[in-house]
Amino acid sequence: MSAGRVAIVGVGYTPFRPITPDVSFREMVYEAAAKAYEDAGIEPQKDLDACVTCQDDFEHGRSIWNEQTPDSLGAVLKPVGTIPGDGIYGLIDAYMQIRSGLRNVVVVETHSKASNMITRNYLLAHAPDPIYNKPLSQHPYYIAGMEMNRFLYETGNTKEQCAMVAVKNRRNALSNPVAAYGQKSAVEDVLGSEMISYPLTELDTSSHADGGIVMVLASEDRARSLAGKPVWIKGVGWCSETPWLESRNWGEAVYAKLAADMAYRIAKINEPREDIDFAEVDDTFSYKELQHLEALGLCQRGMAGRMTSDGVTQRQGELPVNVSGGSLGVGHLVEATGLQKVLEVVLQLRGEAGKRQLDNARVGLAQSWRGIPYASGAVAILSRE
Amino acid sequence: MRNEVGELPGVPLTEKDVLHKKVLSTEWDPKLKWAWDTGIGYGRYLNELKKGRIVGSKCNKCKRVLLPARAFCELCFRQVDEWVHLKDTGTVNTFSIAYTDWVARRIKEPRIPAMIEIDGSGGVAILHLLGAVDPKQVRVGLRVKAVWKPESQREGAITDILHWLPMGEG
Amino acid sequence: MALDSCGMTLDGIDCVVMGTAPDAFDMIHMKGENLIDGAGAWRKPYMRGFVGGGTGVFVVDQGWYHVASGLFDTCLVVAEEKMSSCLPHPQGAFITIWDQFTESPLGPSLLWMFAMEMTRYMHVHGITEREIAMVSVKNKKNAMDHPAAQLPAEITVEDVLNSEVMAWPVKRLDVSPSSDGAVALVLAAEPAAKRITDKPVWIEGVGWCLDTFYIGHRDLYYPRYVEYAARQAYEMAGINEPSKEIDIAEPYDPFDYKELHNAEGLLLCGKGEAPKLLADGVTQRTGRQPWCPSGGALGVGNAIAATGTMKVAELFWQLRGEAGKRQVPGKPRRGVAQAWGDELQVGTVIVVGI
């Protein structure tokens, strides 16, 4: 089988907004897809070999929601498959289809219509194990509170440093015209905001946004023949830690560590801190950014807080993290969250990030986490060359 | 290394075991709520139903009428060009005579779902129900006409059409 | 059991692909995550694939490209469904699968929709309920020899025709039951496969296809999406004449008419010709091209995602000559399995051979 290189050759997205009552999800996806196809210079019915879409049924309130996917992508009567999971999983699925030699051009789609989910908290209560955990009837954010507490305890990072992540990312979002929650704030604002589940406060937590993202992937031959600037997928990795709250490692993001190990191995990266120029990592909660940076090997264990307070992860720092604004600043896009991170890496590598463009962006890392209450996640490493 | 399914492991359970709670379970009645945005295409479609009209949209590239009306043509992958009003009459493309409801409970009076090709659409069908008709008379090719709710009761929903009635022969 | 059968342990598994249909059966949000430990995916790359009722065969296709991508040597494909958790009846899990604005408010059920497809199929070709009932008789009888079967039975065409009408023309015995079940397969790249077993069954072709969601724009008498999926798989497998080059078929048979409908989509015969092959005995286990020698969804049970994978497992046993009492005579060398689902719109296909 061929195991050639795979590139992202086109991206399209809609602005990320807290509500989008003006469009249906189909119309939102259509807009993102039309932009992505224009960006890649392809016509869907002629050029598309397959599509991968990412969404879980309940987020949508539609059972077997994947039936509605082909139309919005111009992919009627094409091979369309769905990954009920985060967008980076979809990216990886498309990457494997191309690497296997089965396809040349594959589209990845994911979107959020989080605003249509009226009883969101109640839905999340249906995610923990139905026999052991659900009957405790707690708002599942208690799981984040417990994890944050254990992480800080084990590593010596502090609540203040977590708050700095929230301040940084929302500030970064002010330079991202499609981000929903950009704002100037201070560490005291975060620490003083309403307590959700000690030590996690309201401003440590990302809010949801709607939006659609579509990407076009192509084999090396095909990528070379298209007009756009290809961004190469150098490595991917994904991993699931145990689903049991009772047996998980609460202090460390093992899934992120193992996923990163796999991605670094494929990308032939031995010194991630040297080779990765910038990263978009999961920041569903502020402490998650710190926990993930350590798991990804971008700093030593216990040093992510220090790195943050020293300004290393600022846009002007040595290792900019979540320049897009992250989930805290852009808005949490449910299953589209990981692909928003890939999107930022692509825009930075193409030099199209506008006001927030980094000077020396050659290799970038995007990482996702599936979210409370589970411990699964994926990593993608992208490069200009 | 034989792969044949030989003896299956496990203990057989009977319905009694479950009913008598020898097998434990946890019960939960989910209360979840969504409010789906109709968007441009379906928003127009439902608004027109409220006015007692069926509207489709038209793609001038492939010349198809799209029904239910929508904002873009999924085959040409472009925005639609115009809205077209269609008649509230049509032809049964296929049907069933259903004695069960959506959770498979028996119902006494059967419901008759049908795919109805709407006149003027070029053969595009919508799902709806036939009403006030003897099940024995229903057949593929039956001509039918919409029966609308009184205007004051319409709310911009597919149920603003009560059901469809055979024309002339029913 | 899959690992035991090839003398492996989870340590030898590089990645896991999970197939399970709507979360609504279990009312577990992010159900795929909840199944990680059961699927043996702890601390492994774990991917859930989903195309509604077509999932069971799709995940095997997906497992194929996990391995064929060169990222992994081995892949464990697991498919499960536990429909009995859903009360009062798992049909309720389907109320939101229709168009929320133009269909769901009418209160449709799966039975209605399938019944309308069956009506259309019968109408266009002039096929009778009696001809279709033969499928149910054949498959339930085949299932008598399947140790994991839920509804094996010896019944007659009259039994099917006289069973209670659920949604005309669909009657009780035209329909597969709702079921709980799980199936697992071990996939391996060529060198690894040869180390693991001296009787590997090779995946020769994969294909899947999704038609438009707008059901009113399609003619339900023929599943063109199954044909598109089959053509992908046949091209990859180098098959030109499926009716001759396929020894065994496991088309998806949640309803008896679906076996015929899907077999036509698989190009095993011309449009509307499937009932004749059935009547002539061609598709019996001892016939020229057996369809559903396992007993299919009608006989073995229909644990949605697991059913499609069960069909692939059946081909595995048949091609290795290990199907016991179900063994198809004549040393079959090649088989096709297929699943179907969504709003009557997805076909997933796999061709395997030795």
CA–CA separation, A126 and C26 (whole Å): 10
Contact A372, A124 (CB under 8 A): yes
Interchain pair A102, C62: CB under 8 A: no
According to the model, what pLDDT value does residue A44 have?
95
pLDDT of residue B130: 97
Query: Is the pLDDT score of C30 beyond 50?
Result: yes
As a whole number of angstroms, the distance between CA C50 and CA C58 comes to 7
Q: What is the pLDDT of residue C28?
A: 84
Q: Where are the domains of chain A?
A: 6-118+208-225
Q: What confidence tier does B169 reach under pLDDT thresholds 50, 70, 90?
A: low
Whether pLDDT at C83 is above 50: yes
Nearest to A246 by CA among A367, A375, A381, A378: A375
C215 near A CB under 8 A:
no
Q: Do C210 and A89 touch (CB under 8 A)?
A: no
Cβ partners under 8 Å of residue B112, min gap 6: B95, B96, B97, B98, B129, B130, B131, B133, B135, B138
- Interchain CB contact of A116 with B (< 8 Å): yes
Residue A86 has pLDDT above 90, yes or no: yes
Domain limits for position C279: 95-176+203-353
What number is the ipTM of this complex? 0.96
- pLDDT at residue A33 greater than cutoff 80: yes
Helical H segments across chain C, by residue range:
2-5, 31-34, 55-68, 110-125, 129-142, 157-162, 190-196, 224-237, 242-245, 256-265, 274-279, 296-300, 304-320
Q: Do residues C132 and C243 both lie within one domain?
A: yes
pLDDT, average across residues A81-87? 95
The answer to whether C167 contacts B97, with C-beta atoms less than 8 Å apart, is yes
**Closest by Cβ to B34, choosing from A22, A61, A131:** A61
Please report which confidence band the pLDDT of residue B7 belongs to, taking 50, 70 and 90 as the band edges. Answer: low
| pLDDT tens per residue, range B92-151 | 999 999 998 877 788 889 999 999 999 999 999 999 999 989 999 999 999 999 999 999
Q: What is the pLDDT of residues C160-206, one digit of tens each?
A: 999 999 999 999 999 999 899 999 999 999 999 999 999 999 999 99
Position A32 confidence tier, pLDDT thresholds 50, 70, 90? very high
pLDDT in tens, A269-293: 999 999 999 999 999 999 999 999 9
Q: What is the mean pLDDT of chain B?
A: 91
Asked whether residue A256 carries a pLDDT value surpassing 90, the answer given is yes
Mean pLDDT score, C325-344 = 95
Are C273 and C336 part of one and the same domain? yes
Using alpha carbons, list the distances in angstroms from residue B45 to A86, B66, B101, B126, C176.
Answer: 33, 11, 27, 12, 37
A30 contact residues in B (CB cutoff 8 A): 71-72, 77
Please give the structure tokens belonging to residue C42.
């702890």
Please, what CATH class does the domain formed by A6-118+208-225 belong to? alpha beta
Report the C-alpha gap between C174 and C101 in whole angstroms: 30
Strands C165-168 and C46-49: unpaired
Name which of C29, C32, C209 is nearest A79 (Cβ-Cβ): C209
Mean of the per-residue pLDDT values of chain A: 95
Q: Kindly tell me if the per-residue pLDDT of B13 is higher than 70.
A: yes
Distance CA C143, CA C129 (A): 22
Q: Give pLDDT, residue A370.
A: 94
Q: How many residue pairs bridge chain B and chain C with CB atoms within 8 Å of each other?
A: 153
A85 to chain C, any CB pair closer than 8 A? The answer is: yes
Chain C contact present for B68, CB below 8 A:
yes
The answer on pLDDT for C159 being more than 90 is yes
Asked if C55 and C123 sit in the same domain, the reply is: no
Q: Are residues C171 and C296 in the same domain?
A: yes
pLDDT per residue as tens digits for the range A298-347: 999 999 999 999 999 999 999 999 999 999 999 999 999 999 999 999 99
> Is residue A198 within 8 Å of A146, Cβ to Cβ?
no
Beta strands in A171-277 (DSSP E): 195-197, 200-201, 211-219, 231-240
Among A31-35, A181-185, C90-94, C123-127, whose mean pLDDT is lowest?
C90-94
Question: How many angstroms separate the CA atoms of A351 and C224, rounded?
Answer: 44
pLDDT of residue B151: 96
Whose structure tokens read 């509307």? C272
Interface touch A43/B77, C-beta < 8 Å: yes
Nearest-Cα distance to chain C for A128, in Å, is 8
Domain count, chain C: 2
Query: Any CB–CB contact under 8 A between B35 and chain C?
Result: no
Residue from the list A83, A101, A238 with its beta carbon closest to the beta carbon of C45: A238
Q: How far apart (Å, rounded) are the C-alpha atoms in residues C164 and B122?
A: 37
Average pLDDT over residues A149-177: 98
Contacts of C225 in chain A (CB under 8 A): 77
Whole-number pLDDT of residue A61: 79
* pLDDT number for residue A131: 83
B4 has a pLDDT exceeding 60 = no
Q: What residues of chain A lie within 8 A of the CB of B74, using their CB?
A: 70-72, 74, 76
Evaluate if residue A1 carries a pLDDT over 70.
no
Distance from CA of B58 to the nearest CA of A (A): 16
Contacts of B30 in chain A (CB under 8 A): 122, 126
A contacts of C213 (beta carbons < 8 Å): 67-71
Instruction: Name residues 60-79 of chain B within 8 A of A (Cβ).
Output: 70-72, 74-75, 77
| More confidently predicted of A57 and C80 | C80
Give yes or no for B101 touching C (CB within 8 A).
yes
Q: Using an 8 Å CB-CB cutoff, list chain B residues near A114.
A: none
Tokens 């006409």 locate to B145
- If pLDDT is split at 50, 70 and 90, which confidence band does B74 have? very high
- Chain C contacts in chain A segment 98-117 (CB below 8 A): 99-102
Whole-number pLDDT of residue A349: 98
pLDDT value, residue C26: 78
> Hey, is the C-beta of B134 within 8 angstroms of any chain C C-beta?
no
Which of B27, B127, B159 faces C108 most closely, judged by CB atoms? B127
Share of residues in chain C with pLDDT > 90 (%): 86
A with C: how many residue pairs have Cβ under 8 Å apart? 192
Contact criterion met (CB < 8 Å) for C46 and A254:
no
- Does B12 contact chain C (CB < 8 Å)? no
pLDDT one-digit tens code per residue, A20-29: 999 999 999 9
For residue B70, the chain A residues in CB contact (below 8 A) are 26
For residue A257, the chain C residue with the least C-alpha distance is: C43
- Give the count of beta carbons closer than 10 Å to the beta carbon of residue B28: 14
Residue B1 above 90 pLDDT?
no
Of C27, C123, C320, the CB nearest to B28: C27
Does the beta-carbon distance from C89 to B103 stay under 8 Å?
A: yes
Contact criterion met (CB below 8 Å) for C42 and A242: yes
Contact call for A116 and B34, based on CB within 8 A: yes
Confidence band, pLDDT 50/70/90 cuts, at residue A2: very low
Distance from CA of B168 to the nearest CA of C (A): 23
- Which residues of chain C lie closer than 8 angstroms to B66, CB-CB? 214, 217
Q: Which of A14, A17, A19, A30 to mutate to test the interface with B (most CBs of B within 10 A)?
A: A30
CATH for C24: 3.40.47.10
For residues A49-69, average pLDDT: 87
| Residue linked to tokens 């305890």 | A153
- With 50 as the cut, is the pLDDT of residue B170 above it? no
**Type of residue at A117:** M
Residue B6 has pLDDT above 60, yes or no: no
Predicted local distance difference test score (pLDDT) of residue B102: 78
How far away is chain C from the Cα of B156, in angstroms, using its nearest Cα? 10
